[in-house]
A and B are shown apart, each in its own frame.
Chain A
């Protein structure tokens, strides 16, 4: 039925026998009336005045699903990839289904994935974090050791800087999931990196940290020591449970507001030094090529960005009536200050309502009531963050950076609404 939780589970296991028999009996009884009214002879009435079959049976008991999983009807709400984007799936990316999500927290099974050498299966008993280099006391910590330190929980987004990267030249992907799904947001729990650095004693000459993963890529990046001491977390939990393997189990770094690849997963080593390392992932990748042939390095910050999540190509409109435009906004520089929405391609704007909580470096929900008259419309959202930074148009970004910089496309998204309610990804002059 799909490539997910339920594949391979026999139908009989999924539907309790009592319920199924009741369902069939009821279905046969009402078939005649239904065929006359709706023309769907197979569909039983489950709405008023009929009592639904699941209301006339007893369901499976507790621990039938000891972990739990989404409703079967939600089976299509999954991470998805763009098969033609990468050579294989081991060094690749998947996208969160933003069109089906309703809050600021991404469920753990739907958090977007980015691997550079596939997903390692790390034994937490054997996993170690080594902190060394320009420190007074080089240290080795087990997971038990790390969990003992004073703990912190914070909600932060993580976004890949390549989110929207396929749209620099033109509108290409007709999907919210694929234009914006390289972002997710979670509550992270762990220890402040500054606490661990206090423990080892930072030497005076240290200015940078090299952070490295235990995956096959031994993925590593340089970070300025100031950022490490400011708000970075070394986390073991995500939305209240242990990290998922996809997100770095048993231990990852979270660098709030900065491009996702510096939040090293499967974190095994932190080395302090006096200069950056200029690793492959901060020279040949994750650098921004400008039209004059120069490149920008160490462009860590995620600038403010927003997107309308309803309507979108996956969730079109139907008849003309009152709708609630919904969306998400975020900034790597702090809190969202305001979001404005346009329905005429940016000629006029209305202030959207922001929904609590409005947290620093976290997804923020916005909504605006809108009566669609059935005519063509061009929907946009534009965020202003607490520093006063205004989300640019794609034309403004291109004027500054050309079309070959791949990363950090935080431009205003335009959704074209056609009179039949269908929605398309477009770009404007």
Chain B
């Protein structure tokens, strides 16, 4: 079914019920309450409000530092938020807001919808702007006097912005279903084994709480 096939001219359809008529029209107020998404690349959907780096530092200390570390270094296995710029080609790359995220408004959207983890979507728009400004500043992406709002945030250019391709290039392997004599001249050799690595939790009895040695 094509999109065009579904849609009749909008002026006539808008006043008619759907094919089944189940449910009811969403009111503007209902839509406004749940319509929280902010588009990453251009910030469409960003609300009114603003927040400075300085204010963000205070909010961060109260709401974020316990897990993400005072300077965004990440406590334990919680995500690191800052640093790692230039490491994406390294053997052990560090993927952070500064080194990896392509779009600044995505940061506002994610903090707003999912953080702080114990009480998601409870921060004011101003606090979310302030946190966004602070985390960008931790990454040296914006200066210390930066104030984030719906106009300034989409203009922030993230260091890794142009490194993403948004069209899937797979299939990117060209295996053939060889049935016999398939090994190369070097034959078959085991290059690694999980034996003896002590990383595997037990798969019988009670749940394991093991940590790597």
The residues of A with any CB-CB pair to B shorter than 8 Å are 2-3, 76, 78, 80-84, 86-87, 90-91, 97, 99, 116-117, 130-132, 136-142, 145-146, 148-149, 170-175, 177-178, 194, 197-204, 206, 210, 212, 216-220, 225, 229, 268-269, 271, 273, 275-280, 283-284, 287, 289, 291-301, 303, 313-314, 338, 340, 344-349, 378, 382, 384, 389-393, 396-397, 400-401, 404, 408, 416, 424-429
Contacts and interface: CB of A to CB of B under 8 A. Distances in A.
Given A136-B13, A149-B22, A284-B106, A171 B192 contact: yes
Contacts of B179: 340, 348-349
Interface of B: 1-4, 6-8, 10, 13-14, 17-20, 22-26, 30-31, 34-37, 39-41, 67, 76-78, 88-89, 93, 95, 97, 100-103, 106-107, 109-110, 113-114, 117, 120-121, 160, 163-173, 175-183, 186, 188-195, 197, 199-201, 203-212
Contacts of A425: 193-195
A138 B31 contact: yes
A210 B37 contact: yes
B153 to A, nearest CB: 14
A171 B175 CA distance: 21
A80 B13 contact: no
A354 to B, nearest CB: 15
Given A294-B163, A298-B168, A347-B182, A116 B177 contact: no
B3 A428 contact: no
B35 A271 contact: yes
A301 B170 contact: yes
The A interface is mostly helix, strand or loop, or mixed, namely loop
A416 B173 contact: no
Contacts of B194: 171-174, 313, 424-426
A287 B211 CA distance: 27
Contact of B18 (A137, A172, A174, A204): A137
B183 A283 contact: no
27 contacts: A2-B205, A82-B201, A117-B114, A132-B35, A142-B23, A145-B23, A171-B193, A172-B194, A172-B197, A174-B195, A199-B18, A202-B3, A203-B7, A204-B4, A204-B7, A217-B114, A220-B113, A271-B37, A277-B39, A279-B37, A279-B110, A280-B109, A284-B97, A295-B100, A298-B168, A426-B190, A428-B189
Contacts of B160: 295
B36 A218 contact: yes
Nearest to B113: A218
A201 B3 contact: no
A278 B110 CA distance: 11
| 6 smallest beta-carbon distances between A and B, as pairs | A278-B40, A199-B18, A170-B192, A280-B110, A218-B113, A345-B188
B196 to A, nearest CB: 9
A260 to B, nearest CB: 16
A382 B189 CA distance: 18
A397 B179 CA distance: 20
A392 B205 contact: no
A279 B106 contact: yes
Nearest to B75: A87
Given A140-B23, A175-B201, A198-B6, 17 more contacts: A76-B203, A138-B26, A199-B20, A278-B41, A283-B102, A289-B95, A292-B89, A299-B168, A313-B200, A390-B175, A390-B177, A396-B175, A400-B172, A426-B193, A426-B195, A429-B186, A429-B191
Contacts of A299: 168, 170
A402 B172 CA distance: 12
B121 A198 contact: no
